[in-house]
Structure 1
Amino acid sequence: MNRSKATATPADRPGPVRTPAARAAAAIARRWPTVLGIVLAAALAGEGSIEGGELILVVAGLTYLVTAVLDRPGAVWAVLAVLLVLGAGARLLGIEPWLALASVAIAATAVGLVRGQLRRPGLFRLQLPQALAVVTVVVAAQYGGPQLAGALVAAALIGHAVWDVVHWRADRVVARPLAEFCAVFDALLAVAIIALLIG
């Protein structure tokens, strides 16, 4: 037997040649939450971005709270969708989203405290304070002029983007793709609001 010719292992064999388009498509498929965040932030940027940012803040804060109470990270996309529909529907009816979603927040808080999810250590225990902080910022924005409202909303969005990154790194409470999407979306929407304020 001729041992001079080594047998090629699967790792030695060259893989299929991928075109630049195929590599780009694969990268997008891996980072689809980031792409989704960029697309939606671009769609929401503009004259209505401050009001849109207020709605996003309320929904984001409540999404984390409700998902923590459910203790099912994979349910976060469904929770987000339901809260967006409720918030947007309230706005169409001329009702402030934070007022319309207050009953959901109160019910989720009561259930979470009784069942213990919101008393668990770590990120679970911090969900109620973060939701209260978000609502406080949104309510304060109602009583300021456009500049103050925009500055408050932009600052809160940046803060929530950091909150998203913390959850992404911990891989707790919400599904990681949602945390990635929210981090990108919140940060870019904050940049759009700041650009609107100084433009």
Structure 2
Amino acid sequence: MKFDLARRWPTALALLLAAGVIASGSGDDLGDAVSGYADALPLLPLLYVVVAQLGRPRVTWPVLGAGVVLLFGLGAQDAVPAGGVMIVVALGVLLWGMLRGSPHGGTVLGVQVAGAVAFGVLAVAGLVVDADLGRYLVAAGWFGHGVWDLAHLRLARLKGVVAPSFAEWCAVVDIAVAVELLFLR
């Protein structure tokens, strides 16, 4: 079986990103690493909720870009908490889905929202406990989201919610983050 880099560019890009993040952050304090990864974790399932409701998988990468800019922009100031903004966005999209309907149907939107809640709970739990326990909760969230990404690649009902290239890329990044938190910190 031949490895086709042109088709697996999301995996290659994710591995390069993960290697860079691991190399640059390996000396960070465990508490800072857990906090940073916990803050970023809710962005991933929120992206799925937004793209599912938009019904256009091709906007996945631009939505990710906007989310990253929003996350870092909110993190650079102290007036508005990033988590609060993500909750408001999620509630707004949920309300939009309830009023307008969802392109993939209510069940798929409900699955996306349930995922956002579950991963958000792991992120918040990882922030409120000590860093040693928090690393395991946040790592579980990132690993779980990696499995979530793979489900969106493989399960017929969830295919087409986000761009397949994003789901592949995100699965590799998510699992690499979980491994970093568990074994390299």
Task: With the length of structure 1 as denominator, give the TM-score of the two structures.
Answer: 0.79
Give the corresponding residue for 1:108. Answer: 93
Looking at structure 2, the residues matched to 93 and 43 of structure 1 have their Cα atoms a distance apart, in angstroms, of: 26
Deviations 1:137-179 (A, max 9, x none): 1111221111121111101111111100010113220010000
Residue 85 of structure 1 pairs with residue 65 of structure 2: no
Looking at structure 1, the residues matched to 104 and 152 of structure 2 have their Cα atoms a distance apart, in angstroms, of: 17
Q: 1:118 to 1:99 in 2, by over 3 A?
A: farther
Looking at structure 1, the residues matched to 101 and 125 of structure 2 have their Cα atoms a distance apart, in angstroms, of: 30
Looking at structure 1, the residues matched to 141 and 76 of structure 2 have their Cα atoms a distance apart, in angstroms, of: 24
Q: CA deviation at 1:122?
A: 5.0
Looking at structure 2, the residues matched to 50 and 37 of structure 1 have their Cα atoms a distance apart, in angstroms, of: 20
Which blocks of at least 5 consecutive residues in structure 2 are unaligned?
none
More displaced stretch, 118-127 vs 170-179: 118-127
Aligned mate of 2:173, from 185, 193, 197:
185
Residue 169 of structure 1 pairs with residue 150 of structure 2: no
Aligned mate of 1:57, from 41, 44, 49:
41
Counterpart amino acid of 1:147? D
Looking at structure 2, the residues matched to 120 and 179 of structure 1 have their Cα atoms a distance apart, in angstroms, of: 20
Aligned length: 173
Residue 134 of structure 1 pairs with residue 119 of structure 2: yes
Deviations 1:32-87 (A, max 9, x none): 10011112222222325423322331110100000011111111111111111111
Looking at structure 2, the residues matched to 43 and 96 of structure 1 have their Cα atoms a distance apart, in angstroms, of: 27
Q: 2:34–2:126: 8 Å Cα contact kept in structure 1?
A: no
Residue 44 of structure 1 pairs with residue 21 of structure 2: yes
Name the SS of the counterpart of 1:114 in structure 2.
helix
Aligned mate of 1:69, from 53, 56, 79:
53
Looking at structure 2, the residues matched to 52 and 43 of structure 1 have their Cα atoms a distance apart, in angstroms, of: 16
Name the SS of the counterpart of 1:185 in structure 2.
helix
- Identical-pair percentage: 35
Q: 1:97 to 1:104 in 2, by over 3 A?
A: same
Q: 1:123–1:172: 8 Å Cα contact kept in structure 2?
A: no
Q: 1:113 to 1:121 in 2, by over 3 A?
A: closer
Looking at structure 2, the residues matched to 43 and 104 of structure 1 have their Cα atoms a distance apart, in angstroms, of: 30
RMSD (Å), alpha carbons: 2.1
Looking at structure 2, the residues matched to 101 and 31 of structure 1 have their Cα atoms a distance apart, in angstroms, of: 31
Q: 2:38–2:127: 8 Å Cα contact kept in structure 1?
A: no
Counterpart amino acid of 2:87? A
Counterpart amino acid of 1:133? A
Q: 1:196 to 1:146 in 2, by over 3 A?
A: farther
Give the corresponding residue for 2:11. Answer: 34
Q: CA deviation at 1:101?
A: 1.9
Larger C-alpha radius of gyration, 1 or 2? 1
Q: 2:53–2:103: 8 Å Cα contact kept in structure 1?
A: yes
